[in-house]
Amino acid sequence: MLPQDPIILLSYVNTKLRDNYSSLDALCDDLDADKEELVRKLEGVNYVYSPERNQFI
Q: How far apart are CA 9 and CA 16, in angstroms?
A: 10
pLDDT of residue 1: 85
Q: How many CB atoms lie within 10 A of CB 14?
A: 18
Average pLDDT on 4-24 reads 98
Task: Please state the pTM of the whole predicted model.
Answer: 0.94
pLDDT-derived band at 3 (thresholds 50, 70, 90) equals very high
